């Protein structure tokens, strides 16, 4: 009976070390990753999908994980009214950009932060011509997230991103935030 308890204690210690002790994974630093996400914004249109392509950089820095990222998101929504007046409208948003990410691995948990630049294209189409418009705006964003590399090639993630638009005239917000849930395939 004592050997069973010793075995269970040893397994518990190994599991705890796996969850807490920093782990450097070679594929995380030097490899490529492609990911997809479901994204929720705090402005209309509210729900969309994202794609990302990542590449590890600065592989000579130990225990840290730096990446360059190209990302694209698409949102589309039919609303009953836009800006609290007018007929129903179809809203669409395309967003693409580049970012730099820095993170560190703690066993199963890999937190990261990033900074990026991009462009957002917002459009509104309605039966009422006054509500038909499109606008492009440059933005910068800050984000933070958590990867869970459960397998060497698969990393689910959750990410929060704050975006500040520069020079938007027609749309009724100058910043927004979003929450993304997704998975990255590393190779």
| All structural domains of the chain with their residue ranges | 24-186
CA 65-13-25 angle, to 5 degrees, is: 20
> What is the arithmetic mean of pLDDT over 167-171?
61
User: Which residues of 20-153 form beta strands (DSSP E)?
Assistant: 32-41, 47-57, 64-79, 89-104, 110-126, 133-147
> What is the arithmetic mean of pLDDT over 28-52?
87
- The pLDDT assigned to 36 comes to 97
Q: How many CB atoms lie within 10 A of CB 186?
A: 20
Residue that wins the pLDDT comparison between 89 and 169: 89
Q: Is-contact 23 63, C-beta < 8 A?
A: no
Note the Cα 49 to chain centre separation in Å. 10
Q: Decide yes or no: CATH 2.40.160.20 for domain 24-186.
A: yes
> What is the arithmetic mean of pLDDT over 141-148?
94
Residue that wins the pLDDT comparison between 128 and 55: 55
Nearest by Cα to 24 from 52, 56, 54? 56
Provide the pLDDT confidence category of residue 25 given band limits of 50, 70 and 90: very low
CA 42-148-153 angle, to 5 degrees, is: 115
Tokens (6 digits) for 3: 């050997």
pTM of the prediction?
0.76
- The pLDDT assigned to 17 comes to 53
- The pLDDT assigned to 133 comes to 72
- Does the pLDDT value for residue 77 go beyond 60? yes
Coarse DSSP helix, strand, coil percentages of the chain, rounded to the nearest 5 percent: 15, 60, 25
pLDDT tens string 100-143: 999 987 678 889 999 999 999 988 787 776 667 778 889 999 99
Provide the pLDDT confidence category of residue 153 given band limits of 50, 70 and 90: confident
Q: Is-contact 49 129, C-beta < 8 A?
A: no
């Amino acid at each position: 009976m004592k050997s069973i308890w010793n075995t269970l204690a040893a397994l518990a210690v190994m599991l705890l070390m796996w969850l807490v002790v920093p782990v450097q994974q070679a594929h995380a630093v030097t490899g490529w990753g492609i990911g997809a996400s479901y994204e929720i914004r705090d402005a209309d249109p509210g729900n969309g999908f994202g794609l990302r392509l990542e590449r590890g950089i600065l592989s000579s820095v130990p225990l840290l994980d730096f990446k360059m990222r190209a990302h694209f998101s698409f949102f589309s929504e039919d609303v009953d009214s836009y800006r609290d007046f007018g007929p129903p409208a179809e809203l669409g948003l395309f967003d693409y950009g580049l970012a730099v990410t820095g993170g560190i691995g703690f066993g199963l948990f890999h937190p990261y932060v990033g900074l990026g630049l991009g462009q957002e294209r917002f459009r509104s189409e309605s039966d009422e011509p006054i509500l038909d418009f499109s606008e492009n705006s440059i933005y910068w964003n800050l984000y933070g997230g958590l990867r869970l590399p459960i397998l060497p090639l698969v990393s689910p993630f959750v990410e929060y991103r704050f975006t500040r638009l520069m020079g938007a005239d027609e749309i009724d917000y100058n910043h927004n935030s979003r929450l993304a849930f997704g998975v990255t395939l590393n190779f």
